[in-house]
Amino acid sequence: MTSKKRQLALGVFLTRHGHHPGAWRQPESIHSGRPDFAHWAHMVKTAERGKLDTAFFADFAGMAGDSTKGIERRHAFLEFEPLTLAAGLAAVTSKIGLVATVNTNFDTPYALARRFASLDHLSGGRIGWNIVSSLAPGAANSFGVDPSFSHEDRYARAGEFVDLARRLWDSWEDDAFENADRESGVYLNPHDVHPVHHKGRYYDLDSVLDIARPIQGHPVFAQAGNSEVGRDFAAKYAEMIYAAAQFIEEAHAFYDDVKGRVTKFGRDPDHLKVMPGLSFAIGRTRQEAQDKFDALEAAVDFRGELNLMGQDMTGYDLDGQLPDLPEPANGKGRWKQLTALARRENLTIRQLFLRFNAVRGHRVVIGTAVDVADQIEDWFVKGAVDGFNLIPPVLPTSLDEFVDEVVPELQRRGLFRTDYEGTTLREHLNIPRPENQNRQLAPAAPVLESVA
pLDDT surpassing 50 at residue 162: yes
CA gap 336, 320 in Å, rounded: 19
Write out the H or E segment, with its range, that includes residue 312: strand 311-312
Mean pLDDT of 123-143: 88
Reduced to 3 states, what is the DSSP secondary structure of residue 409?
helix
How do residues 138-153 score in pLDDT, each as one tens digit?
777 778 887 777 888 9
The per-residue pLDDT for 377 is 98
Output the average pLDDT for the chain: 88
Place 452 in a pLDDT band, splitting at 50, 70 and 90.
very low
pLDDT surpassing 60 at residue 164: yes
Domain 9-300+362-437 sits in CATH at 3.20.20.30
Do 109 and 168 touch, CB atoms closer than 8 A?
A: yes
Q: Is 50 exposed, middle or buried (0-12, 13-18, 19+ CB in 10 A)?
A: buried
Burial 235-268 (b: 16+ CB within 10 A, else e): bbbbbbbbbbbbebebbbebbeebbebbeeeebe
How do residues 67-107 score in pLDDT, each as one tens digit?
566 566 555 566 899 999 999 999 999 999 999 999 999 99
CA gap 262, 235 in Å, rounded: 4
Question: What is the total residue count of the chain?
Answer: 452
Residue % of the chain over a pLDDT of 70: 89
The per-residue pLDDT for 1 is 47
CA gap 388, 366 in Å, rounded: 16
Q: Is the pTM of this model over 0.85?
A: yes
The per-residue pLDDT for 166 is 98
For helices 82-90 and 37-49, the axis angle rounded to 10 degrees is 60
* Listed range (184-193, 353-362, 378-387, 388-397) with the worst mean pLDDT: 353-362
* Listed range (98-102, 109-113, 131-135, 320-324) with the worst mean pLDDT: 320-324
Cis peptide leading into residue 396 (ω within 30°) = yes
Do 215 and 120 touch, CB atoms closer than 8 A?
A: yes
CA gap 274, 111 in Å, rounded: 29
* Listed range (41-55, 247-261, 334-348) with the worst mean pLDDT: 334-348
CA gap 429, 421 in Å, rounded: 10
How do residues 212-237 score in pLDDT, each as one tens digit?
999 999 999 999 988 899 999 999 99
CA gap 270, 60 in Å, rounded: 30
Question: For the CA atoms of 233, 239, 241, 247, what is the dihedral angle to 10 degrees?
Answer: 120
Q: Nearest 5°: CA angle at 51, between 28 and 370? A: 65
CA gap 449, 377 in Å, rounded: 61
How do residues 420-440 score in pLDDT, each as one tens digit?
999 999 999 999 999 999 975
Pinpoint the residues of the chain covered by CATH 3.20.20.30. 9-300+362-437
Place 446 in a pLDDT band, splitting at 50, 70 and 90.
very low
pLDDT surpassing 60 at residue 321: yes
Place 324 in a pLDDT band, splitting at 50, 70 and 90.
confident
